[in-house]
Structure 1
Amino acid sequence: MSSIQRVTIRDVAREANVSIATVSKALNGVDVVRPVTKEKIIQAAEKLNYVPNILGKQLKAHKTGMMGFYTTSISGPYFSVLVDAIAKESEKCGYSLNVLVSSNKKVVMNNILGGMVDGIISFEDMIGPEDLEILKKEQIKAVFIDRNIETKTIGSVVFDSYQASKTATENLLNLGHQDIAFLTGFEGTYDSDERLAGYKDALNEKELPINQDFLIPGYFEEKASYEAVKAFFQSKPEKIPTAFVAGNDVSAIGAVNALKDLNYQIPADFSITSFDGIDLLNYFSPGITTIKNPIREQGAVAVNHLVDLINGKTQGKSFTLTGELLIRESVRKL
Structure 2
Amino acid sequence: MAVTIGDIAKKAGVSLATVSRVLNNSGYVKLETKEKILKVIKELNYTPSAIARSLSKNETNTIGVVVPDINNPYFGEIIKGVSSIADENNLNIILFDTDENIQKELKALSVLKEQRIKGVIITPTSAENDFNSEYLNTLENLGTPIVLVAGEIKYSNLSGVFVDNIKGAFEGVEALIKEGHKKIGIITGRLSSKPASDRLLGYKKALALNDIPINENYIFNGEYKKENAYKITKEILNMKDEERPTALFISNNMMTLGCMKALLEENKRIPEDIAIVSFDKVEILNMLGINISYIDDSTKDLGKTAMKMLVENIKQKEKHETKRITLPPKLYLNGSEKYLNK
Does the alignment pair 1:169 with 2:173? yes
- Structure 2 CA distance, aligned partners of 1:179 and 1:200? 12
Local SS of the residue matching 1:320: strand
> Residue 146 of structure 1: which of 129, 134, 150 is its match?
150
- Structure 1 CA distance, aligned partners of 2:267 and 2:96? 42
- Structure 2 CA distance, aligned partners of 1:187 and 1:19? 61
* Structure 1 contact 179–240 (Cα < 8 Å) conserved: yes
Local SS of the residue matching 1:207: coil
* Structure 1 contact 150–317 (Cα < 8 Å) conserved: no
- Structure 1 CA distance, aligned partners of 2:300 and 2:84? 10
How far the C-alpha of 1:144 sits from its partner, in A, is 1.0
How far the C-alpha of 1:291 sits from its partner, in A, is 0.9
* Structure 1 contact 184–196 (Cα < 8 Å) conserved: yes
List gaps (5 residues or longer) in structure 2: none
Compute the TM-score of the two structures, normalised by the length of structure 1. 0.88
RMSD: 2.7
In structure 2, the residue matched to 1:271 is 275
Change beyond 3 A, Cα 1:308–1:122: same
In structure 2, the residue matched to 1:41 is 37
How far the C-alpha of 1:148 sits from its partner, in A, is 3.9
* Structure 1 contact 225–254 (Cα < 8 Å) conserved: yes
How far the C-alpha of 1:97 sits from its partner, in A, is 0.3
How far the C-alpha of 1:68 sits from its partner, in A, is 0.5
In structure 1, the residue matched to 2:225 is 221
List gaps (5 residues or longer) in structure 1: none
In structure 2, the residue matched to 1:68 is 64
Q: Which amino acid counterpart does residue 331 of structure 1 have in structure 2?
A: E
- Structure 1 CA distance, aligned partners of 2:253 and 2:69? 17
In structure 2, the residue matched to 1:254 is 258
Does the alignment pair 1:195 with 2:199? yes
Change beyond 3 A, Cα 1:105–1:80: closer
In structure 1, the residue matched to 2:108 is 108
How far the C-alpha of 1:240 sits from its partner, in A, is 1.0
Local SS of the residue matching 1:201: helix
* Structure 2 contact 65–94 (Cα < 8 Å) conserved: yes
> Residue 241 of structure 1: which of 235, 245, 260 is its match?
245
Q: Which amino acid counterpart does residue 123 of structure 1 have in structure 2?
A: T
Number of residues of Structure 1 aligned to a counterpart in Structure 2? 330
- Structure 2 CA distance, aligned partners of 1:42 and 1:172? 72
Q: Which amino acid counterpart does residue 61 of structure 2 have in structure 1?
A: G
> Residue 320 of structure 1: which of 326, 329, 332 is its match?
326
Local SS of the residue matching 2:139: helix
* Structure 2 contact 109–138 (Cα < 8 Å) conserved: no
How far the C-alpha of 1:223 sits from its partner, in A, is 3.1
In structure 2, the residue matched to 1:96 is 92
Q: Which amino acid counterpart does residue 36 of structure 2 have in structure 1?
A: K
- Structure 1 CA distance, aligned partners of 2:80 and 2:250? 25
* Structure 1 contact 153–315 (Cα < 8 Å) conserved: no
Q: Which amino acid counterpart does residue 268 of structure 1 have in structure 2?
A: E
How far the C-alpha of 1:321 sits from its partner, in A, is 0.8
Q: Which amino acid counterpart does residue 117 of structure 2 have in structure 1?
A: V
Q: Which amino acid counterpart does residue 37 of structure 2 have in structure 1?
A: I
* Structure 1 contact 225–252 (Cα < 8 Å) conserved: yes
In structure 2, the residue matched to 1:180 is 184
* Structure 1 contact 256–266 (Cα < 8 Å) conserved: no
Does the alignment pair 1:85 with 2:50? no
In structure 1, the residue matched to 2:337 is 331
Local SS of the residue matching 2:94: strand
In structure 2, the residue matched to 1:117 is 117
Q: Map residues 130-145 of structure 1 onto 2, 5 A cutoff.
A: 130=133, 131-145=135-149
> Residue 23 of structure 2: which of 21, 24, 27 is its match?
27
Q: Map residues 203-214 of structure 1 onto 2, 5 A cutoff.
A: 203-214=207-218
- Which one is further off, 17-26 or 293-302? 17-26
* Structure 1 contact 151–317 (Cα < 8 Å) conserved: no
Change beyond 3 A, Cα 1:7–1:145: same
Local SS of the residue matching 1:196: helix
